[in-house]
Homo-oligomer: A and B are copies of this chain.
Amino acid sequence: MLQQHSISIQTQGRATIDISAEVERLVSASAIDCGLCHVFIQHTSASLIITENADGNVRRDLETYLSRLVIDGDPAYLHDEEGPDDMAAHIRSVLTQTEVTIPIRDARLALGTWQGLFLWEHRYHAHRRSILITLSGADI
């Protein structure tokens, strides 16, 4: 069994968005019992992370940390046509993930209890982001 789905997520500017439930729905609908779920974001200024899903402060702290590690509008950047968040967004993407694979077990995403899958928009402004999801495995 092999399935591919394209979804699009509307962001509201720099922030993380929990997409676990949306991906889980595709897994449930697929009738795959055991296998893999591959999630790929087709952009270089937004990325994916798996992190703690319970306390929103974790994602606030991640943003605080990353915006300190990767300075917006650093005068060293040559690539700055689209503003101070342009090159910073590309760096932030490279330091996190463009794609993740999550196991499917018992017809569900096998995330740990405290794990969620998040899209991280790195640009200041809202964007529509395309994600391609490929499910493979053995049927129920």
- Name A's B-contacting residues (CB within 8 A): 2, 4, 34-36, 38, 40-45, 49-52, 55, 57-58, 60-62, 64-65, 68-70, 74, 76-79, 87, 90-91, 93-96, 98-103, 105, 110-115, 130, 132, 134, 136-138
Contact = CB atoms under 8 A, between A and B. Distances in A.
A8 to B, nearest CB: 12
A70 B65 contact: yes
B57 A94 contact: no
Given A4-B34, A102-B99, A61 B77 contact: yes
A57 B79 CA distance: 6
Contacts of A114: 43-44
Contact of A87 (B61, B111, B113, B137): B61
Contact of A94 (B41, B49, B68): B49
Given A61-B78, A102-B99, A112 B4 contact: no
Nearest to A87: B61
A57 B68 CA distance: 22
B36 A134 contact: yes
Contacts of A100: 98-99
A105 B68 CA distance: 37
Most B C-beta atoms less than 10 A away, residue of A34, A78, A96: A78
